[in-house]
Amino acid sequence: MQGLSPRATRGLAYATPTAVLVTVFFLLPLLLVAQMSLSDWPLLAGDRGLNTPENYTDATDSTLFWPAVRFTLLYTVIVTVVLLGLALLLALLVQESRPAAGFFRTVYFLPGALGLASASLLFWGLYSPTTGPLSSVLERLGLVDDPVSFLGTPTSALLSTVFLVVWKFAGFYMLILLVGLQRIPHELYEAARMDGASRAQIFRRITLPLLRPSIALTLLLCVTGSLLAFDQFFILTKGGPDNSTVTVVQLIYREAFQRLNLGTAAALSIIVLAVLLLLNALQFRGLRRADES
């Protein structure tokens, strides 16, 4: 290395493993997926000619494309509202000053240590109409007459999956919101109490506005994660019943490894990537604005 100081050369040397990993396993695949989306790309060797824009039109023409987009958006909205609402309730419940807060915090977080695939397999057993306990509990309580098929109808399959995801992630988002709660100075609460503000007023006027950056961060993570949902539906519903729970990422997986059409799958990937980058950019702007206020 000529023209570089010995110290710069050293720094470059220490950064080399990072550079190699980023180039080979991130940049190269990114270029490759762009190239694949423009070419005919069967799973096994074969014609690799240009296939533009057929990959893209094939991707959006698929009968499952728009239903998958609609379903993914619906799922994202429901999960985000329920998950963030519950996470906020949990964070407020287990703030530092409460008795046994540490114990409850650990309990709520515990499902977060499991993998999503493990949690999905667990709930698959829990929801089973034959061996799962939920159905018989509901029957014994007299709420239902027949065994409940938690994954049997499109609506129940969606809600059952939402319940699993909320159970798995609520503790994790609770942690992020707790960090935000701890940043709010105690004096503000005391001053508000001196002025005779009610609990609801304190929550609406102090807690919520000052928690906005943390809420924005959880929102970003939750929306991105939900739009890319895969494991839970692959394991719990397999996209059923009647393809009613096929998400966009599942569609990519099916196109690539069941219909063996990597070009179309790559085109779908590029579409998802573009939408997410746009969405993240928008949310980052919101995040920054929330930070400034």
**Interacting residues with another protein between 36 and 95 (CB under 8 A):** 36, 41, 90, 93-94
Told to check if 116 binds another protein by CB under 8 A, we report: yes
Q: Let me know how long the chain is.
A: 293
CB of 174 to another protein, least distance (A): 11
Q: What is the DSSP letter of 23?
A: I
Quote the radius of gyration of the chain (alpha carbons, Å): 24
142 SS3 class? coil
CA 169 to chain centroid? 9
Told to check if 100 binds another protein by CB under 8 A, we report: yes
CB of 47 to another protein, least distance (A): 15
Between CA 214 and CA 290 the distance in angstroms is 9
| Of 50 and 89, CB closest to another protein | 89
Q: What is the DSSP letter of 79?
A: H
| Of 158 and 249, CB closest to another protein | 249
Q: Which of residues 141-180 bind another protein (CB under 8 A)?
A: 167, 170-171, 175-176, 178-179
Between CA 59 and CA 255 the distance in angstroms is 9
Told to check if 28 binds another protein by CB under 8 A, we report: yes
- The answer to whether 80 and 226 are in contact (CB under 8 A) is yes
- The answer to whether 160 and 241 are in contact (CB under 8 A) is no
Which of 148, 216, 246, 249 contacts another protein by CB under 8 A? 249
Side chain identity, residue 53? P
CB of 57 to another protein, least distance (A): 19
- The answer to whether 80 and 219 are in contact (CB under 8 A) is yes
Which of 62, 197, 230, 290 contacts another protein by CB under 8 A? 230
Q: Which of residues 271-290 bind another protein (CB under 8 A)?
A: 272-273, 276-277, 280
CB of 277 to another protein, least distance (A): 6
Please measure the distance between the N-terminal and C-terminal CA atoms of the chain and give it in whole angstroms. 48
Q: Which window, 50-58, 130-138, 189-197, 204-212, contacts another protein (CB under 8 A)?
A: 130-138
Between CA 48 and CA 46 the distance in angstroms is 6
Between CA 56 and CA 270 the distance in angstroms is 9
CB of 51 to another protein, least distance (A): 15
Told to check if 14 binds another protein by CB under 8 A, we report: yes
Told to check if 22 binds another protein by CB under 8 A, we report: yes
Between CA 250 and CA 222 the distance in angstroms is 18
| Of 28 and 77, CB closest to another protein | 28
Which of 42, 53, 85, 133 contacts another protein by CB under 8 A? 133
63 SS3 class? coil
Q: Which window, 52-60, 124-132, 145-153, 199-207, contacts another protein (CB under 8 A)?
A: 124-132
CB of 40 to another protein, least distance (A): 14
Rounded to whole angstroms, what are the CA distances from 149 to 68, 71, 135, 154, 241? Answer: 23, 20, 8, 11, 11
Q: Which of residues 199-228 bind another protein (CB under 8 A)?
A: 224, 228
- The answer to whether 285 and 225 are in contact (CB under 8 A) is no
CB of 42 to another protein, least distance (A): 11
Which of 124, 169, 173, 233 contacts another protein by CB under 8 A? 124
